[in-house]
Copies of this chain bind each other. A is one copy, B any other.
């Protein structure tokens, strides 16, 4: 039933290799023949079998995109940017969701390995060593996690957390809490590290609550805990949790930002819709998606697959350049943060929320830190 290259060859009276070339190397075939073949192909509804083609060329023109949780609105912009970038380069993106499950991640990488030319691993939850091991099976680009020797796209959440804490300190907050993210998240560790340091510098106390599932429910569940902690400001691992917290505090009758200020991370579109509107650290998700695709495809052209090669084994210690890209974040001040108990006191220059920094439209220009790494 499915029409193959052979059918087209028979119909147009040429050899299958000519049909093949009509599609993959048109300049090698006589224009007259070409039109005839194309007509027959069109007639029969022939489409080259990509799997068979991949088997011999070693190129599928597909990219795998593994995501911790599609339901998290943080990811769609990244996905869409990756898809659009890939499309421009004549690639397709297949997305898969792991439900924040490390085992599912590994499973998916294996499943994708031979069906794609590379995999974008977003916010992985598995261990570094496993990632390294998998990277030997299929080209990998890691997003939101730093790994020596592997190409990574990072967002400077550390800087973001620092800005957030400084913003809160300037507003006169001293007792703060950090609503931590999920276990195994590099981003969560970065935020905690930076927030701790910034709090110390600002002379503020920071209570860490967590780890928590990075969802609205995760934030909601800790509202009581937050109130009991006696803090006047909270930085949440992401907007979803911040929004859940907003809800929880509202249910408890706690005023935001009158009694407690809340800051999120990500600047998902939803954060503009809550009441109060959420102050948050904007992360350049779209730029991350684009960059990740570029890095993957770059890697592909650097190290062409040995499709036909066969014979010689690749020498150990091949020099491979792996870049690590760090994208900038930015604090967006909205309505969920307000003056704290120490506003205007002691710390000169600590005014109420002034006309703070503003969100630039998708920064896009990375601070690049590239390095040569000797592959194993």
List the interface of chain A (C-beta within 8 A of B).
1, 45, 47, 49-52, 54-55, 60, 62, 70-71, 73, 75-77, 79-80, 83, 92-97, 99, 108, 110-111, 113-115, 136-137, 216, 243, 247, 269-270, 273-275, 306, 313-314
Chain B residues with Cβ below 8 Å from A93 are: 96
In Å, the complex CA distance between A250 and B216 comes to 24
In Å, the complex CA distance between A45 and B70 comes to 30
- The answer to whether A1 and B51 touch (CB under 8 A), given A83-B97, A94-B96, is no
- The answer to whether A77 and B71 touch (CB under 8 A), given A51-B51, A273-B243, is yes
A24 to chain B, nearest CB (A): 16
In Å, the complex CA distance between A243 and B202 comes to 39
Chain B residues with Cβ below 8 Å from A1 are: 306, 313-314
Chain B residues with Cβ below 8 Å from A95 are: 70, 94-97
CB within 8 A of A96: which of B73, B92, B270? B92
Q: Identify which of A50, A73, A115, A247 gathers the most chain B CB atoms within 10 Å of its CB.
A: A115
18 inter-chain pairs at a CB distance below 8 angstroms, sorted by A residue, are: A1-B306, A47-B137, A50-B115, A55-B55, A70-B75, A70-B80, A71-B80, A73-B73, A76-B97, A80-B97, A80-B99, A83-B97, A92-B96, A92-B108, A95-B95, A95-B96, A115-B115, A275-B275
Chain B residues with Cβ below 8 Å from A92 are: 96, 108, 111
A66 to chain B, nearest CB (A): 11
State how many copies of this chain the complex holds.
2
In Å, the complex CA distance between A77 and B72 comes to 11
- The answer to whether A51 and B273 touch (CB under 8 A), given A73-B73, A80-B71, A96-B94, is no
In Å, the complex CA distance between A75 and B97 comes to 13
In Å, the complex CA distance between A111 and B136 comes to 27
Chain B residues with Cβ below 8 Å from A247 are: 273
- The answer to whether A50 and B111 touch (CB under 8 A), given A71-B77, A80-B71, A313-B1, is yes
Chain B residues with Cβ below 8 Å from A73 are: 71, 73
Chain B residues with Cβ below 8 Å from A243 are: 273
CB-nearest residue of chain B to A79: B70
